Structure 1
Amino acid sequence: MRKRRAAAWWAALTTVFTLAAVGCEDSSGPEDGTSPFTGLTAREAPVLAVKIDNVGPARPQSGLGSADIVYVERVEAGLSRLMAVYSSHLPPTVGPVRSARETDLELLRQFGEPAFAYSGAQSKLLPLVKDAPLHPVPPERVGDGYTRSESRAAPHNLYLRPERALSAAPDADDAADIGFRFGAAPAGGRSTPSYTVRYPAAAISFAWAGERERYRVSMDGTSVPVADAKGRGPATVVVQGVTIRDSRFHDRSGSASPFTDTTGSGPALVLRDGKAHQARWERPAATRGTEFTTPDGERLAFARGPVWVAYVPREAVPTGAAGNSR
């Protein structure tokens, strides 16, 4: 049972939702016995977030196919990095694990007090990580929770053992409502067999595989394994337009670390079932989840299954005829 401080707040919040119209299910909250992150049958379990490398030497990554949610963030030099969120399934290993960013702290607030696995951080950021409402499980705290691969060069060879990490964070909060809704697709949408999210020095493409009812993922033109033996993999992809600005932190070369503001509101493109749907997102505060609505203001339901969210500048989200392949 959830012994979490945010439980009462979430219960009160969900009572104010109204019934959605065509294309959305009862928006009062997740169904009993299902994951609030995927809409699939799942047991109640704690949340583990893992910061994962996403440059060429780090691929293929391990454990992405078991993630309930994968967030794609822009980092220094125009590259991208992943934040994978686990609760429904725990793979044997996840990685390569890399360092935390300021963006992660705001993003993770919506999960209550999750366990957070990462490897290091900018020295001035470490006190903020320590004071954040989460349960840090870096290598220095969970030595037996990590292993180094001999087949890869550092720093792209550090892997997490999720079960051991969670054992070191027994008070991590269970999965709870973060605003996602699941059900039938909204009316309309534009046929979009593939879509590419572009960063200054990276690109991530999503191609609809109708026979699997999932999206295939490729990074910088190379396919990556994001589906496990049970065929998991993204059923919904969200391209979320946000404000990305320089933070007060810098990497070793002096480059400013981007800060992605995941609160507020803005445009989004929701990809599901091979179609793209224009949407709006709203997250009033860091402690709140993110709601996605249609242009008419109705809650927009995702397809049941794992969700990938790619954060891009607001102006990078297409308007007008949604979902042109890029």
Structure 2
Amino acid sequence: MHTSATTKPAVTSIAALVLLIATLSGCQAGGETAPPPDRAGTSAGQADILAVKIDNVAPARPPTGLEKADLVYVERVEAGLSRILAVYSSDVPPVIGPVRSARETDLELLRQFDRPTLAYSGAQSALRPSIEAAPLDALPPSKAPNAYFRSKDRPAPHNLYLRPENIPHESTQVNAAEDLGLRFAPAPGGGTPVSERTVSYPSARFTFTWSPEQKKWLVTMDGQASRTASGDRLSAATVLLQDVTLGPSRFRDKWGNTSPFTETVGSGSALALRDGKAYDVTWERDSAASATEFTTEDGRPMTFARGQVWIVLVPTGTAG
């Protein structure tokens, strides 16, 4: 049976009307559609994590934008030096850096977040397959050349900077620490008054000094007061000195040095610094896909002072 030319539009119109009625009925029955995402699939109220690997040797200082990070991880790398993994969500500055290369330790740390973006300058060829297989959005300059630039005020390789707005990546007002389950609340009971604490790597040293006036821990690196590119003193509201096991990874740098791997899955002791006191705590992370939990001696979750949190990964026996 042939369908005439006048019948086809009528059938199409009826089908469209049925589809419209079904859609409206679903909404009225409680089948509301989800709100549109803010950016790249991230709904309102969720953290959108940008992690940036930041250089931390003397020629790379002072850093830019580090003071805006929600979380600052300090990790030991080759030759006993240190690198920083800065984690942003609530407030993303216009420029961050200097940016350096990724390490295997970063991949395990970032498993705690839901598909974060990792900005880094590059990685050795043997590590690249692991980065590509990790549940994160890898963002070296080769993938986003317009998001990076070289500064003329210092020599390479310490002069690579990121412009997050060109990724694009924007602030979410959701703190990355809270996204991990860390809780900002009044200090727990107990604690030991302390004015200063130092952590030493073979080729790097960090000192955190309590300032009663600023109610923050002022950061000193290698004996020098640490400042940002804008001249402000680097500081933390809470510092966690997390005892970890450090071992060799499967990778080497271009000079043949074995890259260390910091084990952040497992359990151990830690020292929490907040409000001029030190608290003995334990840390536990059951798997790479779970977040680290910090617990006080009485079995309660450690609470944090509102502000930037520094987590210094301390190979056992190196705390000062």
CA RMSD of aligned residues (A): 2.5
Q: Which residue of 2 is the match for residue 124 of structure 1?
A: 126
Letter in 2 for 1:206: F
Q: What CA distance in whole angstroms lies between the structure 2 residues aligned with 1:100 and 1:126?
A: 9
Please, which moves more after superposition, 218-227 or 143-152? 218-227
Q: What CA distance in whole angstroms lies between the structure 2 residues aligned with 1:116 and 1:206?
A: 27
Q: Which residue of 2 is the match for residue 72 of structure 1?
A: 74
Q: Which residue of 1 is the match for residue 87 of structure 2?
A: 85
**Which of the residues 192, 195, 200 maps onto 1:193?**
195
Q: Which residue of 1 is the match for residue 227 of structure 2?
A: 225
Are 2:53 and 2:101, in contact at CA under 8 Å, matched by a contact in 1?
yes
Q: 1:64 to 1:232 in 2, by over 3 A?
A: same
Moved over 6 A (4+): 1-4, 227-232
SS at match of 1:271: strand
SS at match of 1:104: helix
Q: What CA distance in whole angstroms lies between the structure 2 residues aligned with 1:230 and 1:67?
A: 14
Q: Which residue of 2 is the match for residue 261 of structure 1?
A: 263
Cα displacement (A) at 1:195: 0.9
Q: Which residue of 2 is the match for residue 308 of structure 1?
A: 310
Q: What CA distance in whole angstroms lies between the structure 2 residues aligned with 1:100 and 1:3?
A: 29
Q: 1:74 to 1:279 in 2, by over 3 A?
A: same
Q: What CA distance in whole angstroms lies between the structure 1 residues aligned with 2:91 and 2:129?
A: 31
Please, which moves more after superposition, 111-120 or 178-187? 178-187
Q: Which residue of 1 is the match for residue 19 of structure 2?
A: none
- The superposition leaves residues 246-268 of structure 1 with CA deviations (integer Å, 9 ceiling, x where unpaired) of 00100111111000011110000
Instruction: Give TM-score, length-normalised by structure 2.
Output: 0.81
Cα displacement (A) at 1:104: 0.5
Cα displacement (A) at 1:233: 3.9
Please, which moves more after superposition, 229-238 or 181-190? 229-238
Q: What CA distance in whole angstroms lies between the structure 1 residues aligned with 2:175 and 2:283?
A: 24
**Which of the residues 261, 270, 273 maps onto 2:272?**
270
Are 2:270 and 2:283, in contact at CA under 8 Å, matched by a contact in 1?
yes
Q: What CA distance in whole angstroms lies between the structure 2 residues aligned with 1:292 and 1:302?
A: 10
**Any unmatched runs of 5+ in structure 2?**
1-34, 39-43
Are 1:232 and 1:306, in contact at CA under 8 Å, matched by a contact in 2?
no
Cα displacement (A) at 1:226: 5.4
- The superposition leaves residues 171-222 of structure 1 with CA deviations (integer Å, 9 ceiling, x where unpaired) of xx99563131221112121111111111011001111112122111111011
Q: 1:213 to 1:271 in 2, by over 3 A?
A: same
- The superposition leaves residues 108-133 of structure 1 with CA deviations (integer Å, 9 ceiling, x where unpaired) of 01111011100111110011111111
1:60 maps onto 2:68 in alignment? no
Letter in 1 for 2:59: P
1:145 maps onto 2:147 in alignment? yes
Q: What CA distance in whole angstroms lies between the structure 2 residues aligned with 1:2 and 1:262?
A: 35
Q: Which residue of 2 is the match for residue 27 of structure 1?
A: none
Letter in 2 for 1:303: A
SS at match of 2:236: coil
Please, which moves more after superposition, 92-101 or 212-221? 212-221
Q: Which has the higher contact order (CA 8 A, sep 6+)?
A: 1
SS at match of 2:131: helix
Are 2:121 and 2:140, in contact at CA under 8 Å, matched by a contact in 1?
yes
Pairs aligned (count): 277
Q: Superposition pairs for residues 1-326 of structure 1, below 5 Å?
A: 44-167=46-169, 175=176, 177-225=179-227, 233-316=235-318, 326=320
Identity %: 54
Letter in 2 for 1:219: M
Cα displacement (A) at 1:314: 2.9
Q: What CA distance in whole angstroms lies between the structure 1 residues aligned with 2:271 and 2:175?
A: 28
Q: 1:268 to 1:227 in 2, by over 3 A?
A: farther
Q: Bigger radius of gyration, 1 or 2? A: 2
Q: What CA distance in whole angstroms lies between the structure 1 residues aligned with 2:164 and 2:308?
A: 18
Q: What CA distance in whole angstroms lies between the structure 2 residues aligned with 1:54 and 1:231?
A: 15
SS at match of 1:239: strand
Q: 1:59 to 1:231 in 2, by over 3 A?
A: closer
Q: What CA distance in whole angstroms lies between the structure 1 residues aligned with 2:90 and 2:234?
A: 12
Are 1:44 and 1:174, in contact at CA under 8 Å, matched by a contact in 2?
no
SS at match of 1:51: strand
Are 1:240 and 1:309, in contact at CA under 8 Å, matched by a contact in 2?
yes
Q: What CA distance in whole angstroms lies between the structure 2 residues aligned with 1:2 and 1:288?
A: 27
- The superposition leaves residues 122-173 of structure 1 with CA deviations (integer Å, 9 ceiling, x where unpaired) of 1100111111110111111111101111010000000011222335x9xxx9
